[in-house]
Structure 1
Amino acid sequence: MDDQTRIEIEAAAFRTLRDHLMNKRPDVQNIDMMNLAGFCRNCLSRWVQEAANERGIEMSKEDARKLYYGMPYEDWKSQNQSAASAEKQAAFKTAFAENVRSDDTP
């Protein structure tokens, strides 16, 4: 397989994952994803931002989230996110510390 085909296949898989999380499973909370898998939708948007920045494309965290979520993050959050229990928040602190660089913010 040539590099361009591999890149296109990987991009298609990413879009499928994003669409699945956004459209088919918006009920799955980011905190649950982070606690279970060590990443969430915000991580995916940050990875988009990092990839853009590595290529010399200026992209803020808010711009990356808007690109990923298809709307401002606060809008998506108000439509889909519920309050997390104290137990989930405590587990999140651990998961975040284990899976995200110390210079990143949620």
Structure 2
Amino acid sequence: MTELSENQKRDFEAAAFRRLVAHLRERSDVQNIDLMNLAGFCRNCLSNWYRDAAGEAGLDLSKDESREIIYGMPYAEWQALHQTEASDAKKAEFEARRPRDH
């Protein structure tokens, strides 16, 4: 395996993260509950992780600020445009698999 410098690792990780966020913005048809049920994380998780990283670096971001960074718009706007009501089956699956910290 090619030996990467710490700067290269950081840059490549940041690029992969930006690509993931862009992909999720393009795929607004994929609901957060679908992501949670399949992968155990969603856009809100990413925004929380982003906010945690900012806090560790000494920058205090609000929940709304970090969500807007991930969603590309205010969360309430994204919900109004893209969020649909989850089926009872999806809700039941989420509750069965739900991480205890959500």
Question: Do these two structures clear the TM 0.5 threshold for a shared fold by scoring above it?
Answer: yes
Is 1:15 matched up with 2:46?
no
* CA-based RMSD: 1.2
**Partners in 1 of 2:97 and 2:20 — Cα distance?**
21
C-alpha deviation, 1:94, in angstroms = 2.9
- Distance in structure 2 (CA, Å) of the matches to 1:47 and 1:96: 17
SS at match of 2:59: coil
Matched AA of 1:27? D
Q: Describe the superposition over 1:35-70 as per-residue Cα deviations: whole angstroms up to 9, x where unpaired.
A: 111001111111100100111110111110011111
Q: CA deviation at 1:34?
A: 0.1
Which 4+ runs in 1 deviate beyond 6 A? none
Unaligned segments of structure 2, at least 5 residues: none
1:1-106 equivalences in 2 (<5 Å)? 1-23=4-26, 25-97=27-99, 101=101, 104=102
Over alpha carbons, which structure has the higher Rg?
2
Q: Separation in 1 of the partners of 2:96 and 2:74?
A: 27
Identity of aligned residues (%): 48
Task: Provide structure 1 residue ranges, at least 5 long, that are not aligned to the other structure.
Answer: none
Corresponding pairs, count:
99
| Aligned counterparts of 2:97 and 2:65: Cα–Cα separation in 1 | 25
Scaled by the length of structure 1, the TM-score of the pair is 0.87
Using the TM superposition, give the Cα deviation of residue 95 of structure 1 relative to its aligned residue in structure 2, in angstroms. 2.8
State the alpha-carbon separation in 2 of the partners of residues 96 and 40 from structure 1: 12
Q: Which amino acid aligns with 1:54?
A: E
Report the Cα distance in structure 1 between the residues aligned to 2:38 and 2:91, rounded to whole angstroms.
13
Distance 1:95 1:59 in 2: 29
- Answer yes or no: is the 8 Å Cα contact 2:51–2:62 preserved in 1: yes
Q: TM-score, normalised by structure 2?
A: 0.90
